[in-house]
Homo-oligomer: A and B are copies of this chain.
Amino acid sequence: MATTRRKPLSRERILAAALELVDEQGIDALSMRKLGQALGGYEAMSLYNHVANKDDLLDGILDLVLAEMEPPDPAGGLASIRSSSISAHEALARHPWAAGLLMSPTRIRPSRLQFMNALLAALRGAGFSAETTYTAYHVLDAHIIGFSLWQSTHGSLPADIDLENMRPFLDRMLPPDRYPHLHEHGMQHLEDGPHRDVRTFEYALDLFLEGLERAR
């Protein structure tokens, strides 16, 4: 009876619930038992009918994030590379845990390879040599992921800190007498919030792309 009332499990429902759980409570909060409960009181082992193991589960939700990234058009030139990089960064900003997963060596997803391949194709298509393409690819990749990672560590503050008592918190974490420049930097972050991060990401991205254009 209870069994008929609740919606049956499926890979898609499981992945969606896992994504929601991880987005809300962080990657460490994801356990098979907890996920089963969140899906309507299922036992952990029931999930294994639709998912090979936890790694497969993680691959699954990572794929969902990767699907949010718009790959570059191989014939779209630097403009397409730019907008695609921004789209990738946005996806990682929406799901801060994903950047970390993306970097675990054992988790090489086909969708990621496809994105990489398209990016390389776009670089060659934009007229860069194999040599420059090689470097540019690494720079872009490092920038997107590195920046997203930085943002993700930054964004997750203790839960009891809101914008009100942010200032004293910052003063305590980064005492101005010990870290004067760092404290100033923290203040800059407070000034106009997340918008600034986006601008910073794009500023650095453009700095790159301009440098590349000169090298072409």
Give the interface of A toward B (CB within 8 A).
100, 103-105, 108, 113-114, 116-117, 120-121, 124, 130, 133-135, 137-139, 141-147, 149-150, 152-154, 156, 173-174, 178-182, 184-185, 188, 200, 203-204, 207-208, 210-211
CB distance from A69 to the nearest CB of B (A): 16
> A204 — which chain B residues lie within 8 A by C-beta?
135, 138-139, 142
Residue of B nearest to A175 (CB): B113
Contacts A/B (CB < 8 Å), 30 sampled: A100-B100, A100-B103, A103-B153, A105-B152, A105-B153, A113-B174, A113-B179, A113-B182, A116-B179, A117-B179, A117-B180, A120-B182, A130-B184, A130-B188, A135-B203, A135-B204, A138-B150, A138-B204, A139-B207, A142-B143, A142-B146, A142-B147, A142-B149, A142-B204, A143-B146, A146-B146, A207-B208, A207-B211, A208-B208, A211-B211
> A156 — which chain B residues lie within 8 A by C-beta?
105
- Asked whether, in the complex, the Cβ of B117 is within 8 Å of the Cβ of A182, the reply is yes
